[in-house]
Structure 1
Amino acid sequence: MSQHHPLLQSFGVLLVLDADSRRIQAASTNLDRLVGHDASSSPLTPEQLLGKRLVQQVRRELQGQARLAAPLVFRRGANTSRFQLRAFRSGEQVIMEIEPFQVSGQHRLLGALQEHLSRLAEMTHQEEVLAFLVTTVRKLTGFAHVGVCQFDPDWHGHIVAEAKADDEFSVVGQRLAACNFSAALRRAYVRHPVRYIQDAQAPLERLMPDLPVDLCASVLRAPTPERQRYLERLGVRGMLNVSMVCEAGLWGVMFCHATAAHEVAASVRDAVHILVQVATKRLSLLRARHEARYLKRVQDSLGSVVSATHGPRSPEQLLHDKAPIWMDLFRARGVALWLGGVVYQAGRAPTPEVIRQFVMRLHKAHPHNGPWCTRNTARHPLTSSLAMSEQAGVLAVPLPMNSTQRAWLLLFRPAQDEAPYWSMRPVKAAMPSLSVMLGRSRYEKVVGCSEAWQRVERLAAMNLGNDLTLAISSYEISMLNMHLERERKALAAANQRLEQLAHFDPLTQIWNRYRIEQAIDNELVAAKRYGAEFALLMFDVDHFKAINDTYGHSLGDEVLVALARQVEGSLRGCDYFGRWGGEEFVILASHSDIQAAAGLAERLRELLMTLRLPGLEQPVTVSIGVVAWQAEDSCKTLIARADAAMYQAKRKGRNRVEVAAGEVA
């Protein structure tokens, strides 16, 4: 927000320059004290203050960029003191921040940072990463209290790690109500991940002359009066906050507090920021591995259902045999299967009549193929009038038995055992420690809510539903085969339905993973026997989770369907197209070399950017990896190389085509 009287912290100098960095429009009032020039004296050019070479370097690096890639270190004149300069654009102005640069210990800091990063890369548990992070940051910065606040899906905060002085009050395990983290505050955390206040009680500096300038991105911006009063209530004078942002969004915040003014060199703040970024990426990787293991466990539970050695089992038998496993995997207390008007259930599920009423409402309110869920049945319009007092959370997965009939797999969770969420306050009122964090002190009680249904749980439930659909279809077909003469037409229809389920994705109606793998295997046989060239394209939708979170899973499903139709209509008759899983797709381009495949990928990328759907305010982009068949390739290695190329495209900025390493397009 632009301010006519911006106030600044005194540990650094702030300069406001024009867009070309040729004229100093304003400077903070501590310019003389820190740099040796009186801001109220005659005007000074950037070259006179900083030196011609440094100013030219700043101009060169800021061309077309929002900020310098890294700080610059310089001396001014004969002054033996060194300074560190950061520069960034703010509207039509360039903001420069200048701080004293501490030379001593820099090589040691870089070496220690490298060692810390290497250790982080080897860690295999979230608790280990967080404990190492807070301990290391406290050693680097010297703050009395360092902690990490993680956000849950409802934006409640949870203090999950801390490192502190012996006389500091422990806050690990305490919670903060979501009302303390407004959407605007969360956006600010993402846009400006580092917030440092050296001394909340120190006299503040001003700009001379006074100019309207946006200092939201400046580390020197002074705390607001409200923030100063908040820190005073906490007994905190020095503060450093670093946001923990991953691809999925804001994961949490690391906070550092000191009861006295606390100086942290800019290089140390940079090191802390790098540590937090790497730790956050490590946490994301560990979470992805955990989710992959979880999906594998669900898949394994389904494998025994589909490949049972004693022949197909009835839906009632399946539910009886598998309900305990599914309830354990999904942390549910009850499970039910609604099929053709009949209810099969296990555990603590609602009565069959309540389930029938619920399913009738789902048929009308949720015509989509994705899952439906709530964690508060007492408040959701679809369930509030139903007798579900023991079932606070419901996850409902549609089973597309055919084009006109849907079955439902229903999982039920009880209310959470731990209901209250506290904004933090000290146990003893006289203790000068953390009492509130980032908001008001209040008690917020959550009643009747279950654990949130995580994204990976919804995905696993959909996979379970698809395989359960196949198992039920297999059972129905076996029953029809017993009455072949009397039920010939019904058997033919069921076989056709099973063929569709086995080879086609139920959402997009293109080939599923099993069918596209068959096509790749066939193409490999032809390639090895006749030397026929072919290529493979793997792509997925960029930021698809953000589309689901922002616009809802229904619109996310529409994006996948529309994308499939547009791609399918642009391919040759000898090309094959399938959904690999989630938002990932595979194209098998027969009789194509790497150049032709790369050209096809680029055309598809440009084509999909034209895709427009009602209600979607952003373009649909994809990241595409391209590989060509090589003599030693198998289906597995082809897919792995295409997958690696696709993720290389993502790492390079998304919305691009990347040819696999070692291949030239």
Structure 2
Amino acid sequence: MSKHHPLLQAFGALLVLDADSRRIQAVSSNLSSLLNIPIPDVRTQTLTSVLGKRLSQRVRYELQGKQRLSGPLTFKCPTRSQRFQLHAYRSGMHVVIEIEPLHTLGKQRLLGTVNERLMRLAEATHQEELLDYLVMAVQELTGHDRVSVCHFDSDWHGLIVAESLATGSVKPGSVSPGREVPLGRLPALLGQRFPAKDFPVALRGAYERHPVRLIQDVAAPCEHLLPRGAVVDLSDCFLRAPAPERQQYLQRLGVRGALSVAMQGDTGLWGLLFCHSASAYPVTPPVRDAVRTLVQMATQRLLLLRARQEARYLQRVQDSLVLSSNNRLKPQSPYQLFTEHAETWQSLFRAHGVALWVKGSVYQAGNTPKPEAISQLVTRIEKAHVHSGPWCTQETAKEPLTSSLGMSEQSGVLAVPLPTDPSQRGWLIFFRPEQVETLYWAMQPPSAPLTPMMMLPSAAWCEEVTGKSEAWQRVERLAAMDLGEDLTLAISAYEISTLNMHLERERKALADANQRLEQLAHFDPLTQVWNRYRIEQAIDAELVAAKRYGAAFALLLFDVDHFKQINDTLGHSVGDDVLISLARMVESSLRGCDHLGRWGGEEFVVLATHSSMDAAEGLAERLRSLVATLQVTGLNQPMTVSIGVAVWQPDDSCKTIIARADAAMYRAKRNGRNRVEIAEKNVQ
């Protein structure tokens, strides 16, 4: 069916108007019966003749100059004692109006119920509790037979991670394979997976644009647009009927009524909430809105819980760093460092083995490959992996760099480069064992043999996955980079200490080595601006001067908007170029008395000395505008930054002024990014 002449679901009606919202171009075949009004000839009708003068004028007024109405309108049909809800939006040269019945509900009670559920969601302390309460609350609100949360992995396979079943639904294992599920009941899917082919790119894109999808009755006859000659794009129409392949898919699941809500993460579609019923199932607009509100709140809480968990993990890694004050006074050799910390590293990164390769020497702990295999792996990675980020794999048997190295007991590898020497980097390498995993597929997975599809998922396909380790999470890769930078400095400090003892007569070589250590200790190796340690020193010095002489100064904390998306879509090389170009532009735009430092990742700090609030805000706006003009090879989209500005207060410490600037920066992100926010006086 062409997108110009789609089939429509019968629970609502559709009008297609001209661009001025006056004359009707087409209507759905059920409009007359829904509103109980005769429409003998569509081409002779106006919007006023169908909806009345007052409502028609309001639609035209509110839609004037806009793509869609800011919210739905409600009206009472004069020929029928029933209220309706109206949505209007523009589609090309037409205006599309969707109408559906608005059943009477206890609005105050619904609002109170939703508020109570929102408070419970906001109090959840971990993901399982949060999602379990979400599906229970939605199931109680809508009354569907089954409410499930499906989370997407990196390959777009879906996993049912939470579920609530109506009373009398089928529990896992209660229906034998091949037997039919009792009428009006749906089986449990918790813990089962759906292959990525069930969620094609077009479907995921549709959920990105329209997060709520209702199919009231997948088996109901569909309505048409009248007259057939009207040509209009209705791909954004809420009332559109499901495509035939989607109808067949839901029927194989035993589903007749479905409500789906997208769960948007910080980098895209995190998952979907499914409400399924074995019979036709209407869901009124207020209830749909309530469900969407609950899902949005749960998703935001989910992202916050994950961010807190990652922050705690990163702090544990920070606490384990080897470059302590004692180590600076008495540097340890790579062997001493490795022996002392290897067990802690294995625990932090959930590895069963770890190796350190430095200048041809291999140090090993736990279950690792032979030293020769590690040296060969280093040679291959050094040649193939040129950027500064970590390298990892879950399947050494299938990865070209590792398949021939005889690493049968190590299925996962995470390798972190250590730029200890310009000619040959060192490497810190973690190993994970094979993790045999049994997957239960609710629908036929891509790897399953071609067999007739089951009519109902009363029995799942069982697949045993071998040869793969547990995946290396993004936060683990970030933590490994922090550890690698710290280890690089510790090893460099030891090398300098050794040179000071044994190369007294070779002063030039010693001076060069000290200069290299100074560069490693004070400057970021990628951007060549001050690193976090050096900029913190400068802030401490400025705090002393400010308290003694009252010389105010300001901090500008900023980072690149959507930097992870740049890395994920364009690669780490382009991401590195973005950071280098940004640092050069900002540094060249500062006064001689101001300083720039890389705070970590894509975050930078500007220390503006002798600066008032007005001057600092002006500098921030100037830098923000400059960055927007920056062009980087390979990056076709504009680059923007979010900046938080904090001016020194008499009771400030380095920690508090940074915290205020950080809070302002994240406020800038929440308020739309590419903006400057001024820090509040105090941050709790």
Maintained 8 Å contact 1:234/1:435: no
Maintained 8 Å contact 1:146/1:254: yes
Give the structure 1 partner of residue 425 of structure 2: 406
Assess, with a 3 A threshold, how the Cα gap between structure 1 residues 67 and 523 changes in structure 2: closer, same or farther. Answer: farther
Assess, with a 3 A threshold, how the Cα gap between structure 1 residues 46 and 293 changes in structure 2: closer, same or farther. Answer: same
Matches within 5 A, 1:191-206: 191-206=209-224
Give the structure 1 partner of residue 96 of structure 2: 95
Assess, with a 3 A threshold, how the Cα gap between structure 1 residues 425 and 399 changes in structure 2: closer, same or farther. Answer: closer
Give the structure 2 partner of residue 126 of structure 1: 127
Residue identity matched to 1:76: C
Deviations 1:230-267 (A, max 9, x none): 22222211011111112121111111111110011111
Q: Tell me, yes or no, if structure 1 residue 553 matches structure 2 residue 572.
A: yes
Deviations 1:535-567 (A, max 9, x none): 221111111111111112222122111111121
SS of corresponding position for 1:190: helix
Matches within 5 A, 1:437-586: 446-486=465-505, 488-586=507-605
Maintained 8 Å contact 1:312/1:474: yes
SS of corresponding position for 1:5: coil
Residue identity matched to 1:290: Q
Shift of 1:620: 1.1
Assess, with a 3 A threshold, how the Cα gap between structure 1 residues 571 and 305 changes in structure 2: closer, same or farther. Answer: closer
Residue identity matched to 1:167: S
Matches within 5 A, 1:136-151: 136-151=137-152
SS of corresponding position for 1:278: helix
Deviations 1:417-463 (A, max 9, x none): 2054634479xx99975469xxxx97766442222221111110000
Residue identity matched to 2:198: N
Instruction: Write the distance in 1 (CA, Å) between the matches of 2:619 and 2:329.
Output: 47
Maintained 8 Å contact 1:421/1:446: no
Assess, with a 3 A threshold, how the Cα gap between structure 1 residues 74 and 334 changes in structure 2: closer, same or farther. Answer: same
Give the structure 2 partner of residue 167 of structure 1: 169
Maintained 8 Å contact 1:480/1:487: no
Shift of 1:662: 7.2
Deviations 1:347-399 (A, max 9, x none): 22222111111211222222211111222222223223322222222111111
Deviations 1:143-198 (A, max 9, x none): 10111111122222211110013332222111223343333332222222111100
Shift of 1:68: 3.2
Shift of 1:333: 1.7
Q: Aligned to 2:242, which of 220, 223, 226?
A: 223
Residue identity matched to 1:529: R
Assess, with a 3 A threshold, how the Cα gap between structure 1 residues 66 and 464 changes in structure 2: closer, same or farther. Answer: farther
Maintained 8 Å contact 2:322/2:490: no
Matches within 5 A, 1:582-597: 582-597=601-616
Q: Aligned to 1:417, which of 423, 436, 444?
A: 436
| Mean CA deviation greater in 628-637 or 303-312 | 303-312
| Mean CA deviation greater in 180-189 or 506-515 | 180-189
Matches within 5 A, 1:360-439: 360-418=379-437, 420=439, 422-424=441-443, 433-434=456-457
Instruction: Write the distance in 2 (CA, Å) between the matches of 1:50 and 1:526.
Output: 73
Instruction: Write the distance in 2 (CA, Å) between the matches of 1:549 and 1:407.
Output: 25
Shift of 1:207: 1.1
| Mean CA deviation greater in 602-611 or 417-426 | 417-426
Give the structure 2 partner of residue 84 of structure 1: 85
- Where does structure 2 lack aligned partners over 5 or more consecutive residues? 171-186, 446-451
Instruction: Write the distance in 2 (CA, Å) between the matches of 1:69 and 1:329.
Output: 50
| Mean CA deviation greater in 380-389 or 649-658 | 380-389
SS of corresponding position for 2:635: coil
Assess, with a 3 A threshold, how the Cα gap between structure 1 residues 492 and 40 changes in structure 2: closer, same or farther. Answer: farther
What is the TM-score when the length of structure 2 is the normalising length? 0.90
Instruction: Write the distance in 2 (CA, Å) between the matches of 1:59 and 1:224.
Output: 32
Maintained 8 Å contact 1:422/1:443: yes
Deviations 1:488-512 (A, max 9, x none): 4443333322222222112211111
Assess, with a 3 A threshold, how the Cα gap between structure 1 residues 539 and 47 changes in structure 2: closer, same or farther. Answer: farther
Shift of 1:307: 4.1
Instruction: Write the distance in 2 (CA, Å) between the matches of 1:632 and 1:20.
Output: 62
Assess, with a 3 A threshold, how the Cα gap between structure 1 residues 328 and 215 changes in structure 2: closer, same or farther. Answer: farther
SS of corresponding position for 2:400: coil
Assess, with a 3 A threshold, how the Cα gap between structure 1 residues 477 and 591 changes in structure 2: closer, same or farther. Answer: same
State the aligned residue count. 657
Instruction: Write the distance in 1 (CA, Å) between the matches of 2:602 and 2:240.
Output: 42
Maintained 8 Å contact 1:6/1:213: no
Instruction: Write the distance in 2 (CA, Å) between the matches of 1:520 and 1:124.
Output: 36
| Mean CA deviation greater in 185-194 or 114-123 | 185-194
Assess, with a 3 A threshold, how the Cα gap between structure 1 residues 349 and 55 changes in structure 2: closer, same or farther. Answer: farther
Instruction: Write the distance in 2 (CA, Å) between the matches of 1:129 and 1:420.
Output: 24
Shift of 1:311: 3.6
Shift of 1:582: 1.2
Deviations 1:577-615 (A, max 9, x none): 111111111112222222222222222222212222222
Instruction: Write the distance in 1 (CA, Å) between the matches of 2:565 and 2:66.
Output: 26
Give the structure 2 partner of residue 630 of structure 1: 649
Instruction: Write the distance in 2 (CA, Å) between the matches of 1:569 and 1:60.
Output: 52
Instruction: Write the distance in 2 (CA, Å) between the matches of 1:598 and 1:92.
Output: 45
Q: Tell me, yes or no, if structure 1 residue 33 matches structure 2 residue 33.
A: yes
Percent identical among aligned pairs is 64
Instruction: Write the distance in 2 (CA, Å) between the matches of 1:452 and 1:163.
Output: 29
Give the structure 2 partner of residue 13 of structure 1: 13
Residue identity matched to 2:163: E
| Mean CA deviation greater in 527-536 or 275-284 | 527-536
Instruction: Write the distance in 2 (CA, Å) between the matches of 1:298 and 1:154.
Output: 28
Shift of 1:133: 0.6
Maintained 8 Å contact 2:535/2:596: yes
Two-structure CA RMSD over aligned residues (Å): 2.6
Residue identity matched to 1:186: R
Residue identity matched to 2:32: D
Instruction: Write the distance in 1 (CA, Å) between the matches of 2:549 and 2:129.
Output: 54
Q: Tell me, yes or no, if structure 1 residue 248 matches structure 2 residue 267.
A: yes
Instruction: Write the distance in 2 (CA, Å) between the matches of 1:572 and 1:519.
Output: 15
Maintained 8 Å contact 1:305/1:318: no
Maintained 8 Å contact 2:24/2:45: yes
Q: Tell me, yes or no, if structure 1 residue 234 matches structure 2 residue 235.
A: no
Give the structure 2 partner of residue 313 of structure 1: 332
Assess, with a 3 A threshold, how the Cα gap between structure 1 residues 20 and 595 changes in structure 2: closer, same or farther. Answer: farther
Instruction: Write the distance in 2 (CA, Å) between the matches of 1:590 and 1:398.
Output: 36
